[in-house]
Structure 1
């Protein structure tokens, strides 16, 4: 990886960009039960979000992630390139 954003969408989908975003249930963090630990810390019910017995967030469009800062990190541009 060169550190620059990939020139094509296929490269973006293969995560050929610098930096990663980790979400529970995906390969880097496969155990959804870990979501309960995060819920204890963040108390999502304060903003109307609840965790089901299956470790799913409700309302349905709610999301969580683990975000780790690195001083050289940059967010990728999701715009189309020609």
Structure 2
């Protein structure tokens, strides 16, 4: 995607997400509603690879994960309007 050269040089910058390519997982502040995971599961059909969604909207087996990956030059964690 041509964005790796923009990564911060220090850990503090990584922790402040001063880079493109953040991963947004359900249940965290950017996507707090775990019920949305059912919509994603309906589209992707994770049971094809042995992953199942529980009644509590958790993925099984443990350590399974899903995410929304966004690539846009102005996208960042809480402010889609650009970097501040």
Classify the TM-score, shorter chain.
Answer: 0.7 to 0.9
Shift of 1:47: 0.8
Greater strand percent: which structure? 2
1:54-65 aligned at under 5 Å gives the runs 54-65=56-67
- Give the distance between the partners of 2:18 and 2:8, measured in 1 at CA: 6
Query: Which of 46, 49, 55 is equivalent to 1:47?
Result: 49
Taking structure 2 as the reference length, what is the TM-score of the superposition?
Answer: 0.72
1:1-82 aligned at under 5 Å gives the runs 4-70=6-72
Give the root-mean-square deviation of aligned CA atoms. Answer: 2.3
Which 5+ residue runs of structure 1 have no aligned equivalent?
72-82
Which 5+ residue runs of structure 2 have no aligned equivalent?
74-84
- Give the distance between the partners of 1:10 and 1:61, measured in 2 at CA: 26
- Give the distance between the partners of 1:8 and 1:65, measured in 2 at CA: 25
1:37-77 superposed Cα distances (whole Å, 9 cap, x missing partner): 11111111111000111111001111101123447xxxxxx
Give the aligned length.
71
Shift of 1:21: 1.7
Taking structure 1 as the reference length, what is the TM-score of the superposition?
Answer: 0.73
